[in-house]
Amino acid sequence: MPKTIFGGEHRHLVEVLAEARQKSGLTQAQLADRVQKDQTFISIIERGQRRVDVLEFVALARAMEADPARLFAEVLKRLPAKPSI
């Protein structure tokens, strides 16, 4: 698996999104269809090779029928007190 190009804290956001997708019962392809993207778009995000901006985060959460605020709260719980940027 290729090494991520982003910092360690980014993995928390990726993990929350991947876990939410799996919990929703959606495949990467199904989620991609819901946001009108290719399956590789989701795969690249879940491998940590692409950053997700806040609007994409909201769109992905809603496409999974998850509450974006709840998912983001989970990301915040996993971050260290002083994350690096």
- Asked, for residue 85, whether it belongs to a domain, the answer is no
The CA-atom distances, in angstroms, between 20 and each of 11, 43, 57, 77 are: 14, 14, 12, 15
Q: What is the pTM of this model?
A: 0.87
Q: Please count the structural domains in the chain.
A: 1
pLDDT in tens, 20-74: 999 999 999 999 999 999 999 999 999 999 999 999 999 999 999 999 999 999 9
- Asked, for residue 84, whether it belongs to a domain, the answer is no
- Asked, for residue 26, whether it belongs to a domain, the answer is yes
Give yes or no for residue 2 having a pLDDT over 60: no
Sign (positive/negative) of CA torsion 55, 47, 24, 81? negative
- Asked, for residue 60, whether it belongs to a domain, the answer is yes
**What domain range is 56 assigned to?**
10-78
- Asked, for residue 64, whether it belongs to a domain, the answer is yes
Complete DSSP assignment for 36-77: T--HHHHHHHHTT-S---HHHHHHHHHHTT--HHHHHHHHHH
- Asked, for residue 49, whether it belongs to a domain, the answer is yes
